[in-house]
Amino acid sequence: MLAPWLEDPAAAQVVAGWSEATGLDLARLGTTADADEIKNTAVTQPLVVVNALLAAARLTLPETAVTAGHSVGELAAAAVAGVLTPDAAVRLAAVRGREMAAACALEPTGMAAVLGGAEEVVLARLAELGLDPANRNGAGQIVAAGPSDKIDELAATPPEGARRAAVLPVAGAFHTRFMAPAEDAVRAAAAELAPVDPARPLLTNSDGSVVKSGSDALGLLVAQVTRPVRWDSCMATLGELGVTAVIELPPAGTLVGLVRRDLKGVKTLALKTPEDLDKATALIEEFA
């Protein structure tokens, strides 16, 4: 995922610094590592943030551009909004990933995406099984999280009206009480940071609202480790704010798909490689 971005010597130098700061060989992990290595959430999380920030550094965004991220992507969004420096965002992503991986090892948990079905019926089925709605993604998708045996039961007998419940290849029940030890560690790391107020509108996964304070934004980023991701609420706020175009930073594709289904008529672009930068710039200029 990083190979095309690291062709820029300046980007390669930045990533080398981030590798030293995190103790991870990010350049190797983002170019030649195999799938088994990078699917470890301790590696995946910082790589996602690094990839997004390398692309953001090549864009000139208007001050009015609304910024939002999904799960660990919210760390990149906070950096784009100016709450955290890119260096701080990558370091915190590495702590978050490492500690969430450790929490996953404590007991067998997992996640499953429930596709379709009436929201109230899906939520009732999750409550019946003792599962949490860890991601409410809109577009008819709710991701359940909890004990592995209950996740398997959900997959075998999905909620009435749902098309299916697909078990996800993740390490554990993210955004639930099972991540409490990781939240404590992330809070300790965050205490060493000096957030500033957002320079542009920043939405929170907590409820989709616009965050005004840097300290509030950092507190919400910490709490997000054990709280559900309300991407559905973030998209609702994008609509209320009159957003007419969305650019998803790399690794891109999933969020613009959700936006297309929930926010009809909004232009979208999945920025995946440097080859997409010209299209992103043209889209920004069109709506600036």
Active site residues: 71, 175
State how far the Cα of 119 lies from the Cα of 131, in Å rounded to an integer. 15
Q: What are the DSSP E strand ranges found in the chain? A: 109-116, 132-138, 141-147, 162-167, 202-203, 210-211, 245-248, 267-270
Q: What is the SS3 assignment for 109?
A: strand
User: How far lies 25's CA from each of 32, 38, 55, 204, in Å?
Assistant: 11, 11, 19, 30
Contact 72, 49 (CB under 8 A): yes
Instruction: Count H helices and E strands in the chain, helices first.
Output: 13, 8
Read out DSSP for 53-75? HHHHTT----TT--B--STTHHH
Dihedral angle computed from the Cα positions of residues 9, 13, 19 and 21, in that order, rounded to the nearest 10 degrees: -160
